[in-house]
Amino acid sequence: MDSSRAAWLLLVVVLALSLRATPGSSEDAEICNMKESELRECEPAVWGPRPPSPTTTCCAGLGKGDLPCLCSYVDSLLPALGVDRGLALQLPAKCGLTLPSECGEAAA
């Protein structure tokens, strides 16, 4: 596993563990109304030169997720972790969702 991918997984785990530490949190932690498992389902779609399409689980999570909240992470740690910003911003459209204006524009 390359270091960027390991860092991405570490970020997901750290976010999940921090959410689990909150009283009343469930086994499958959430961030921006998306379960940890749904975030992991989206991971392959934001990596590499020819990523696969997002899974139905990823798209279902994005559909109920708080997209402006998720977009707040696009320009923070994700680029440093090797996540392609353009691919991340393309996920909503690939799932048949509208990219919120707070997210900027997705690369074609």
> How confident is the model over 22-31, as pLDDT tens digits?
455 456 778 8
User: Which run of H or of E encompasses 60?
Assistant: helix 56-64
User: Which run of H or of E encompasses 41?
Assistant: helix 36-42
DSSP-derived 3-state class of residue 96: coil
CATH of domain 3-103: 1.10.110.10
Question: Which of 91, 85, 90, 87 lies closest to 63, judged by CA?
Answer: 91
Taking a C-beta distance cutoff of 8 angstroms, is the pair 64, 33 a contact? yes
What number is the average pLDDT over the span 9-13? 54
Q: What is the pTM of this model?
A: 0.69
Instruction: Give the confidence band of 106 by pLDDT, cuts at 50, 70, 90.
Output: low
Taking a C-beta distance cutoff of 8 angstroms, is the pair 39, 12 a contact? yes
Query: For the segment 38-64, what is each residue's pLDDT rounded down to a tens digit?
Result: 888 888 898 888 899 999 999 999 999
Using CA atoms, how far apart are residues 45 and 9, in angstroms rounded to an integer? Answer: 14
